[in-house]
């Protein structure tokens, strides 16, 4: 039995008819890079993402300054998954850590005459996104700086952000400036760092001042009051001034942040058609030239953890534009793979199945549904064939799924018996969970089984009536589920049936009902419970003594609940409850069951009607105590560590 029961097929079909998750799927936009993880088949184009992760490890561990900056060109046609690959890399780094992530989409470069300044803005914006430590990437760097100059145990970035403003205010009240002190100490180790850029990065730890510090780091002008509070220069500049200074600022920022973590810079969609430069140079050439400049200027700087630059483009952009650029530009754009771009692959038959499995898993999970098959309503063979023959892009594959995400109901057979057979087949595939623990479902299935046998004679007993109207109604809880009223050789027989698979307390209460023949107007009590549960009882328990009284003194019986006997009854009940779906009437079902003796031959129903055997299963372990309670352990004590009393101890 599974722990995840299959949902009713009607609910699954209704979800499919109400929402198509494949519509507009496969189009990954810039904002999706930073949102929650989208469905991803890790094996699809794993060669590309693995190459990127190896490049990150190379720049991180290499001792050679020439290896501290490397680059990879990635090529693929539209819809194959270029931006999705970058999303995979970003989410991997967010989860596992290992590098800071910068996304530079080509659409952001609206004025190619200001490409360096616009990249500085991109850099500042990307580092303001959440990283692997649940704070902004800027704050990860700032926290690393602070922890370098603190003498106590390192605080997490989140802890520093939470208390930074309070500590800053406390220090200021004592005529001490926390930022000044931190800046001074960090500069002792980073003697070549720009003091203002370093100061602005430290300010990102402040929840109130971080937005202004990031705006300044992006190259924008602040209101003078904000600049004064931060202690940062704030001269008025033209865009041309900012463009002229941007490269130096970019280099300073990357030198500082890469000291603590590798940085991966992703230039995406460089094929877009933006306004060209004053000289008429298109976007792809401008960005490729920027990559070359970054490579050359950063390679000669004091990088510690390294920088990886990805440039993503169409194959024709590489062939007809970038690869023909002079001055060694192609070598600097795809240095890691020695000028050979990493090509993304189309969807194959196997990856098609994996892709759709991942998408449907998210779809059904969001709907809290468990389908009869992970690929439902698709067929694996058709998905495999489509991927194998068409070799689609990811976008084309998802578009095909959007067109084919529908229920194909087979027409029901004309003959009622064939419809009944179809219903049995479908309902038998539905996983209803741990049904052997569901006393109410079991009781309903047995009750319905006897309903179909009214007027028939089994085990020498002719069944006249089945009723769940148990009198007297003096309790809110009913422990006898129903009565089978029958005639045995002219004598009235009233069998009270109690299905009890639950706790010992319920069993004890139920057995008290079953032995009280007079009160509940029965001539025989029948307990339906798994033999294994009986054998676990303590023979000195109240429940076992009551069972002994029922069987040996009152002429009642215990009937073992056997999975192979109850499961068919549960399936038949499901068919009856959903009979309208299969265009069956109550008369159709009762006639078919009677004609084919399906319930007539059921051994569980026959055992309940048969003469009691007078036997009780013996417990396996007389010391077994189903009501025992384990001892509770005291929570372990925790010790507190005192903060060191240095200048930054409050942090």
Task: Indicate if the pLDDT at residue 635 is higher than 60.
Answer: no
Mean pLDDT, rounded, for 363-390: 94
With residues binned 3-state (H G I as helix, E B as strand, rest as coil), the percentages for the chain, rounded to 5, are 50, 10, 40
Torsion of CA 235, 237, 242, 248, to 10 degrees: -30
pLDDT at 116: 96
pLDDT at 277: 62
Are 102 and 123 in contact, with CB atoms under 8 Å apart? yes
pLDDT at 275: 60
- Compute the distance between CA of residue 312 and CA of residue 84 in angstroms, rounded to an integer: 11
pLDDT at 40: 82
Q: What is the pTM of this model?
A: 0.65
Mean pLDDT, rounded, for 89-100: 93
The DSSP bridge pattern shows strands 461-467 and 482-488 to be antiparallel
Task: Indicate if the pLDDT at residue 484 is higher than 80.
Answer: yes
pLDDT tens per residue across span 64-88: 888 899 999 999 998 888 888 999 9
Task: Indicate if the pLDDT at residue 640 is higher than 60.
Answer: no
List, in sequence order, every residue forming a beta bridge with 312; answer none if it has no partner: 74
Task: Indicate if the pLDDT at residue 197 is higher than 90.
Answer: yes
Task: Indicate if the pLDDT at residue 302 is higher than 70.
Answer: no
Are 446 and 495 in contact, with CB atoms under 8 Å apart? no
Q: pLDDT band at 520, cuts 50/70/90?
A: very high
Lowest mean pLDDT among 19-33, 205-219, 480-494: 19-33
Of 523 and 281, the structure prediction assigns the larger pLDDT to 523
Are 193 and 255 in contact, with CB atoms under 8 Å apart? yes
- Compute the distance between CA of residue 118 and CA of residue 286 in angstroms, rounded to an integer: 12
Mean pLDDT, rounded, for 310-337: 94
pLDDT at 522: 95
pLDDT at 37: 66
Task: Indicate if the pLDDT at residue 4 is higher than 70.
Answer: no
Of 578 and 73, the structure prediction assigns the larger pLDDT to 73
Is the bond leading into 377 cis (omega within 30 degrees of zero)?
Answer: yes
Using the structure block, give the residue that is written with the tokens 């060669």: 47
- Compute the distance between CA of residue 49 and CA of residue 98 in angstroms, rounded to an integer: 14
How far from chain centre, in Å, is Cα 394? 21
Mutual orientation of helices 394-404 and 349-366 as an angle, nearest 10°? Answer: 60
Are 262 and 132 in contact, with CB atoms under 8 Å apart? no
What phi-psi label fits residue 79: left (phi over 0), alpha (psi between -120 and 50 degrees) or beta?
A: left
Mean pLDDT score across all residues of the chain: 88
pLDDT at 273: 75
Calculate what percentage of the chain has a pLDDT beyond 70. Answer: 91
Mean pLDDT, rounded, for 222-232: 96
Q: pLDDT band at 411, cuts 50/70/90?
A: confident
3-state secondary structure 254-276: HHHHCCCCCEEEEEECCCCCCCC
Are 352 and 382 in contact, with CB atoms under 8 Å apart? no
- Compute the distance between CA of residue 531 and CA of residue 485 in angstroms, rounded to an integer: 26
Lowest mean pLDDT among 141-155, 209-223, 610-624: 610-624
Calculate what percentage of the chain has a pLDDT beyond 90. Answer: 70
State the first-to-last Cα distance of the chain, in angstroms, to the nearest integer.
54
Lowest mean pLDDT among 236-245, 341-350, 535-544: 535-544
Phi, psi of 487 (to 5 degrees): -125, 125
Domains of the chain (ranges; CATH) run: 133-258 (no CATH), 433-609 (3.40.1350)
**In this structure, which long-range contacts are made by residues 470-475, counting pairs with CB atoms below 8 Å and at least 24 apart in sequence?**
470/496, 470/520, 471/520, 471/521, 472/519, 472/520
């Amino acid at each position: 039995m599974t722990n995840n029961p299959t949902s009713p097929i009607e609910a699954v079909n209704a979800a499919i008819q109400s929402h198509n998750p494949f519509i507009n799927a496969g189009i990954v936009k810039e904002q999706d890079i930073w949102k929650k993880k989208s469905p991803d088949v890790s094996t699809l184009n794993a060669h590309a993402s693995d190459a990127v992760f190896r490049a990150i490890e190379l720049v991180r561990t290499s001792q050679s300054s020439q290896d501290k900056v490397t680059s990879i060109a990635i090529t693929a046609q539209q819809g194959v998954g270029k931006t999705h690959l970058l999303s995979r890399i970003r989410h991997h780094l967010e989860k596992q850590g290992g590098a800071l992530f910068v996304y530079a989409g080509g659409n952001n470069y609206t004025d190619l005459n200001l490409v360096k300044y616009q990249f500085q803005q991109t850099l500042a914006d990307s580092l303001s996104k959440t990283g692997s430590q649940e704070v902004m990437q800027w704050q990860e760097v700032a926290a690393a700086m602070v922890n370098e100059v603190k003498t106590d145990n390192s605080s997490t970035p989140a802890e520093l952000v939470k208390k930074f403003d309070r500590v800053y205010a406390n220090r200021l009240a004592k005529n001490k400036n926390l930022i000044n002190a931190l800046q001074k100490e960090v500069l002792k180790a980073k003697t070549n760092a720009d003091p203002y850029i370093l100061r602005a990065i430290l300010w990102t730890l402040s929840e109130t001042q971080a937005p202004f510090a990031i705006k300044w780091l992006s190259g924008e002008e602040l209101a003078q009051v904000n600049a004064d509070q931060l202690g940062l220069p704030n001269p008025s500049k033209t865009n041309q001034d900012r463009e002229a200074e941007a490269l130096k600022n970019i280099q300073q920022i990357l030198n500082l942040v890469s000291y603590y973590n590798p940085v991966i810079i992703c230039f995406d969609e460089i094929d877009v058609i933006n306004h060209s430069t004053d000289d008429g140079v298109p976007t792809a050439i401008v960005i490729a030239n920027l990559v070359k400049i970054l490579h050359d200027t950063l390679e000669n700087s004091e990088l510690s953890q390294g920088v990886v630059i990805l440039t993503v483009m169409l194959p024709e952009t590489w062939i007809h534009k970038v690869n023909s650029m002079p001055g060694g530009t192609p070598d600097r754009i795809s240095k890691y793979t020695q000028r050979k771009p990493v090509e993304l692959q189309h969807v194959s038959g196997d990856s098609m199945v994996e892709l759709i499995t991942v998408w449907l898993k998210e779809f059904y999970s969001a709907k809290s549904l468990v389908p009869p098959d992970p690929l439902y309503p698709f067929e694996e063979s058709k998905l495999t064939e489509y991927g194998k023959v068409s070799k689609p892009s990811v976008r084309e594959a998802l578009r095909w799924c959007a067109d084919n995400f529908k229920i194909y109901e087979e027409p029901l057979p004309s003959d009622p018996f064939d419809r009944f057979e179809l219903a049995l087949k479908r309902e038998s595939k539905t996983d209803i969970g741990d049904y052997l623990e569901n006393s109410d479902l079991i009781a309903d299935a047995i009750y319905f089984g006897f309903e179909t046998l009214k007027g028939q004679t089994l085990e020498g007993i002719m069944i006249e009536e089945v009723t769940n109207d148990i009198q007297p109604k003096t309790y809110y809880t009913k422990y006898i589920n129903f009565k089978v009223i029958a005639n045995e050789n002219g004598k009235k027989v009233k069998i009270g049936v109690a299905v009890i698979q639950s706790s010992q307390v319920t069993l004890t209460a139920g057995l008290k009902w079953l032995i009280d023949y007079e009160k509940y107007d029965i001539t025989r009590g029948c307990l339906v419970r798994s033999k294994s549960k009986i054998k676990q009882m303590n023979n000195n328990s109240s429940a076992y003594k009551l069972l002994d009284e029922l069987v040996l003194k009152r002429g009642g019986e215990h009937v073992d609940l056997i999975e192979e006997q109850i499961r068919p009854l549960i399936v038949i009940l499901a068919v009856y409850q959903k009979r309208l779906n299969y265009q069956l009437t109550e008369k159709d079902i009762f006639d078919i069951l009677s004609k084919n003796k399906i319930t007539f031959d059921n051994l569980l129903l026959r055992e309940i009607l048969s003469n009691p055997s007078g036997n009780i299963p013996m417990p396996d372990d007389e010391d077994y105590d189903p009501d025992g309670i384990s001892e509770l352990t005291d929570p372990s004590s925790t010790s507190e560590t005192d903060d060191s009393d240095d200048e930054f101890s409050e942090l």
